Structures are given as C-alpha cells and as structure tokens.
Amino acid sequence: MSHGGPGRLADRRWLLLAVGLLGSAVLFRTEVIDTVSVESDSMAPTICDGDRLVVSKLGAAEDLGRDDLVVFRSPVDGERAVKRVVAVAGQRVEIRDGVLFVDRERREEAYVDLATMDGAFFGPVVVDEGGVFLLGDHREVSIDSRDYGAVPRDRVEGTVLTTLWSSCTG
C-alpha cells in the first residue's frame, strides 16, 4: 500500500519550503527589522502620534551618532519611546534660552520650534560613558534625557530607518 507518490513528496517539499520561509521572515522581522507605532507627539513635527516606523535592530547600540532617531525602553515607564540622539559619551550638553549646545557649539535644529522654547535652560551635563543623550524634537512636551539622564547604549533597541506611514498634518 502506497502512502503517497512523487506528487505527495513534492507537496511536502513545498510545505517545508513555505514553513522555512515564513519562519525566516518572522525571525528577520523580530531580530533585524521591526515596525513601531508611535503613541506620542514628543517628536513632532518629525514623527507624530499615530505614525508607523520601520526600525533596524542590527547593531543598534554600536553605531549611534548625533541626530540618529532611536527606539528604546523609557526609564520612566518601560514603554517603547522614540527620541533623537543629540550627544554621545563624553560630550557636554546644555540648553540656553531654548538653543541646544553640544561641546559649547550651537546646534542648528530646524525641527525645534524655538519660539516655544524661549526661556528654557538645562545643564550643562557631560554624557556618561556608554550613554547617549536623547531629546524629543517637540521639546516643550518631551520627557527625555533632561528628566532621566543619559540612556545606556544597550537599552537602545533600534534606529529608525523610515516612516511607513505618517499622521502628521500641516
């Protein structure tokens, strides 16, 4: 009595291939690329509440630099958050009358509305070894490194590659 023939064997191979591809896709999505839904306006106008982001998890903590947008677990509530790297270990950060200075040099930040930051001062502080200093672009509402200090690089889960879709208006 036969339990299949060449056709049944081919069907099994296709099924195994399909399962393998699906498993690879799931592993790729969870270990290499991920998507994140944003539930805050702390990065507006760059990223808005309701946006969906594509995030790379490859080498997330190793190659962080100024202006990278990163996803990490907030030290405040453990929820995923998105912020901008403005300084790395050893750099001096301060805000004078709403303007960001890193290592005493003024940073031009077209995405920050300085009119809403008038009269805001912070620091100076030096970023801890192994840390990154993260700020939201919508500074007047953002809870960020000004509140909880530098974030250890190993808490960064990924860097934002692109916006899949945006709910920003205007």
**Rg of the chain (C-alpha set):** 22
Residues with catalytic function: 42, 83
> CA-to-CA distance for 12 and 22, rounded, in angstroms?
15
- Count of residues making up the chain: 170
Cis peptide leading into residue 75 (ω within 30°): no
User: Rounded to whole angstroms, what are the CA distances from 39 to 50, 51, 90, 96, 109?
Assistant: 6, 8, 31, 29, 23
User: Rounded to whole angstroms, what are the CA distances from 103 to 65, 87, 109, 112?
Assistant: 15, 9, 16, 19
First vs last Cα of the chain: how many Å apart?
71
